[in-house]
């Protein structure tokens, strides 16, 4: 089991024990506990505790910085709108993979739609687009297709 899995398991167990479904932890305490850099904690937060997986993560950096994880239940429409609104003007292929994987795992997107969308925004499909513009085009396509899924 890798360090990310250990951190995620610890946080999941702690969240289950939390009274009101809210867990607040110090990033530096977690990094020290697992003998890792704080960016490893950030990685776990973004990949394992994302809105697509039913979590809201609030973070404050600095000396008294904290991470607050809240487990929420969202219907598929709300989740899709949250993902659409959180996408910036650009998104890299690795992020698209994670977003689509999470949406499929949550049952928000059918698996075949997730695979088709990944193919549509992949580097092979965007080969005619200059590399420095691909992430921008990728984000635009992803947003438009997800908007169609909301209706």
**C-alpha to C-alpha distance for 86 and 60, rounded to whole angstroms:** 18
Same structural domain for residues 82 and 109? Answer: yes
**C-alpha to C-alpha distance for 122 and 150, rounded to whole angstroms:** 22
Least confident range of 3-17, 46-60, 89-103: 46-60
Rounded to an integer, the average pLDDT of 52-77 is: 79
Percentage of residues in the chain having pLDDT higher than 70: 96
Domain boundary among 71, 105, 128: 71
Q: Which domain holds residue 11?
A: 3-71
**For position 64, what pLDDT does the model report?**
66
With H, G, I as helix, E, B as strand and everything else as coil, classify residue 55: strand
**C-alpha to C-alpha distance for 96 and 100, rounded to whole angstroms:** 6
**For position 73, what pLDDT does the model report?**
73
Same structural domain for residues 94 and 122? Answer: yes
- Rounded to the nearest integer, the mean pLDDT of the chain is 88
Greatest mean pLDDT range, 75-79, 101-105, 106-110, 136-140: 136-140
Q: Is the pLDDT of residue 52 over 80?
A: no
**C-alpha to C-alpha distance for 113 and 147, rounded to whole angstroms:** 13
Domain boundary among 71, 106, 131: 71
Same structural domain for residues 118 and 138? Answer: yes
**What is the residue whose two structure tokens read 């999470």?**
102
**For position 102, what pLDDT does the model report?**
82
**What is the residue whose two structure tokens read 């990033």?**
27
Token digits for 106?
Answer: 């949550």
For residue 59, list its beta bridge partners: 67
Same structural domain for residues 54 and 100? Answer: no
Question: In which band, very low, low, confident or very high, does the pLDDT at 63 lie, cut at 50, 70 and 90?
Answer: low
Q: Total structural domains in the chain?
A: 2
Same structural domain for residues 56 and 110? Answer: no
26-45, pLDDT tens digit by residue? 888 888 999 998 888 888 88
Same structural domain for residues 85 and 65? Answer: no
Q: Is the pLDDT of residue 133 over 90?
A: yes
Long-range contacts of 84-90 (CB under 8 A, 24+ apart): 84/143, 84/146, 84/147, 84/150, 86/51, 87/139, 87/142, 87/143, 88/139, 89/136, 89/139, 90/135, 90/136, 90/138, 90/139
Q: Is the pLDDT of residue 62 over 70?
A: no
């Amino acid at each position: 089991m890798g360090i990310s899995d250990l951190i995620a398991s610890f946080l999941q167990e702690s969240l289950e024990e939390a009274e009101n479904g809210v867990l607040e932890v110090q990033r530096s305490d977690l990094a020290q506990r697992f003998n890792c850099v704080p960016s490893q904690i950030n990685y776990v937060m973004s990949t394992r505790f994302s809105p697509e997986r039913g979590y809201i993560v609030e973070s404050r950096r600095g000396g008294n910085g904290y991470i607050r994880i809240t487990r929420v239940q969202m219907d598929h429409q709300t989740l899709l709108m949250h993902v659409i609104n959180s996408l910036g003007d650009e998104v890299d292929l690795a992020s698209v993979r994670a977003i689509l994987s999470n949406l499929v795992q949550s049952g928000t997107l059918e698996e075949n739609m997730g695979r088709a969308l990944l193919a549509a925004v992949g580097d092979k499909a965007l080969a005619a687009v200059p590399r420095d513009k691909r992430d921008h085009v990728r984000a635009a396509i992803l947003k438009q297709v997800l908007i169609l899924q909301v209706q």
